[in-house]
């Protein structure tokens, strides 16, 4: 039970600590730092998708022939399609973008920026919940230590994400406390999604391989569609690549050592 609670709270703690950077920095985050953090978050999410989600999905499929990749492939594609649909039907604003995406809305820029980050956090919360559920039901394929490694990895990448949310809110005229509060609340969807997934664990056990790969597909969508392009725009794009490598290696080490 202790491991379960830690696994649920770690990602939210990462977001909260990152949002607290608004009390330590000036109104605007340096471009070099922002691109490094975006690249780092991308690397963590890609490594987590492979080692903590896709590989256990394949191993958990229950077959030894070529059909063992069916849950991983179908779930991965479904995760991509789900986030693509959410992108289409939800008004949101990406960091550094002059115009919002999705259907026309009268929401403020701040609200749409928070919605964009919330979309990021949906697959991350699901990934933590599914991994913890898999650890409880199929510890042979994904031990609790492996699930906690995923949770810790997402918490680490949530730190820069929390800062990337709160700092632009501050630069747009919000008070430090308001920017911190909104940045913190943007991560609430993660523990909520994880808890709901765990509560349904008894019912979703037969489709856990599909859910693991679904979460992987959704996270990869966020990386390819949003994080990497944002890290590659303008000057200092090479630091985003360096950040990606650092995040990928760190998450890989966490998963191998702890998992």
Q: Give long-range contacts, CB 8 A cutoff, 24+ apart: 137-144.
A: 137/201, 137/205, 137/208, 138/60, 138/208, 141/56, 141/59, 141/60, 142/52, 142/56, 142/60, 142/259, 143/259, 144/3, 144/7
Query: What does the block give as tokens for 141?
Result: 């394929």
CA separation, residue 259 to residues 38, 124, 135, 150, 194 (Å): 25, 18, 11, 9, 19
CA dist 212 and 153 (Å) reads 16
pLDDT value at residue 77? 97
The CA radius of gyration of the chain, in Å to the nearest whole number, is: 18
pLDDT value at residue 66? 78
pLDDT value at residue 24? 83
Residue 105 has phi, psi (to 5 degrees) of: -150, 155
Residues with pLDDT less than 70, the chain: 1, 26-29, 92-102, 105, 109-110, 138-141, 202, 236, 259
Please write the tens of the pLDDT for every residue from 134-181: 887 766 667 788 788 888 888 887 887 788 778 877 877 778 898 898
Instruction: Give 235's strand partners.
Output: none
CA dist 21 and 33 (Å) reads 12
The pTM (predicted TM-score) of the whole model is: 0.84
pLDDT value at residue 213? 93
Q: Where along the chain do its domains lie? A: 43-258
Tokens 């599909």: give the residue.
210
Neighbours of 17 (CB within 10 A): 15
């Amino acid at each position: 039970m202790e491991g379960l609670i830690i696994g649920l709270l770690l990602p939210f703690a990462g977001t909260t600590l990152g949002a607290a950077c608004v009390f330590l920095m000036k109104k605007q985050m340096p471009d070099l730092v922002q691109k490094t953090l975006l690249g780092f978050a991308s690397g963590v999410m890609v490594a987590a998708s492979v080692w903590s989600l896709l590989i256990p999905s394949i191993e958990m499929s229950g077959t030894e022939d070529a059909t063992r990749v069916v849950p991983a492939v179908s779930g991965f594609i479904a995760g991509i399609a789900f986030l693509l649909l959410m992108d289409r039907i939800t008004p949101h604003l990406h960091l550094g973008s002059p115009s919002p995406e999705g259907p026309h809305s009268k929401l403020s820029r701040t609200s749409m920026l928070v919605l964009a980050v919330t979309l990021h956090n949906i697959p991350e919360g699901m990934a933590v919940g599914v991994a913890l559920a898999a650890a409880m039901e199929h510890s042979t394929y994904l031990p609790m230590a492996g699930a906690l490694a995923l949770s810790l990895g997402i918490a680490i990448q949530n730190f820069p994400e929390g800062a990337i949310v709160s700092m632009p809110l501050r630069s747009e005229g919000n008070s430090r406390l308001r920017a911190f509060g909104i940045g913190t609340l943007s991560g609430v969807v993660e523990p909520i999604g994880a808890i709901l997934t765990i509560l349904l664990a008894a019912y979703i056990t037969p489709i856990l391989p599909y859910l693991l790969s679904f979460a992987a597909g959704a996270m990869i969508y966020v990386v390819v569609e949003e994080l990497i392009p944002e890290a590659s725009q303008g000057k200092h794009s090479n630091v985003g690549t360096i950040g990606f490598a650092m995040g990928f290696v760190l998450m890989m080490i966490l998963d191998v050592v702890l998992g």
